[in-house]
Amino acid sequence: MAEIDTSGGGGHKDGKVRAKKMSTKVDLTPMVDLAFLLITFFMLTTTLNKPSAMELNMPKKIENPDDKPEEVRECQVLNLLVDTLDQVWYYDGLTVAGLQKTTFAGDAGIRKEILRSKKRVLRECGVSPKTNKPRPLICLIKLMPGSRYKNMVDILDEMDIAQVPVYAIQEYSPIEKEAVDNGGKVTTFATGN
Amino acid sequence: MIDIPSARSMTKIEKAIVISLSKDGKAYLAFADQEMRRETLQKMVERVGERFPDLKTITPEQTKQFGFIEVFGTPLEDLPRVLKLNGGDYKTYQDKLPGIPTDSVHNQLADWIWAARYANPKMKIAIKGDKSTNIKDVQRVIEILTKDADVHRFNLITTLGGATTTEEKKEE
Q: What is the mean pLDDT of chain A?
A: 78
- Pairing status of strand B153-160 against strand A52-57: antiparallel
d(C-alpha A93, C-alpha A83), whole Å: 19
Flag whether residue B86 sits within 8 Å of chain A, measured between CB atoms.
Answer: no
CA distances from residue B14 to A53, B18, B30, B38, B81 in whole angstroms, order as listed? 10, 11, 13, 20, 32
Q: Summarize pLDDT for A138-192 with one digit per residue, the tens.
A: 888 888 888 888 888 888 888 888 888 888 888 888 888 888 777 767 766 555 4
Kindly determine whether residue B131 and residue A156, on different chains, have CB atoms separated by under 8 Å: no
Q: Summarize pLDDT for B33-83 with one digit per residue, the tens.
A: 788 888 888 888 887 777 777 777 777 777 777 777 778 888 877 777 777
- Pairing status of strand B71-72 against strand B27-30: antiparallel
Report pLDDT for A65. 62
Flag whether residue A102 sits within 8 Å of chain B, measured between CB atoms.
Answer: no
Q: How far is B148 from chain A (nearest CA, A)?
A: 12
Q: Summarize pLDDT for A77-112 with one digit per residue, the tens.
A: 888 888 888 888 888 877 777 777 788 777 778 888
Flag whether residue B138 sits within 8 Å of chain A, measured between CB atoms.
Answer: yes
How many CB atoms neighbour CB B110 within 10 A? 20
Going by pLDDT thresholds of 50, 70 and 90, the confidence category of residue B170 is very low
For a pLDDT cut of 90, what percent of chain A falls above it? 7
Map out the domains of chain A as residue ranges: 75-181
Of A55, A56, A145, the CB nearest to B136: A145
Map out the domains of chain B as residue ranges: 6-171
Flag whether residue B131 sits within 8 Å of chain A, measured between CB atoms.
Answer: yes
Of B142, B152, B156, the CB nearest to A53: B156
SS3 assignment, position B131 = coil
| Cβ-based contacts under 8 A for chains A and B | 120
**A interface test, pick of B156, B157, B171 with most A CB neighbours within 10 Å:** B156
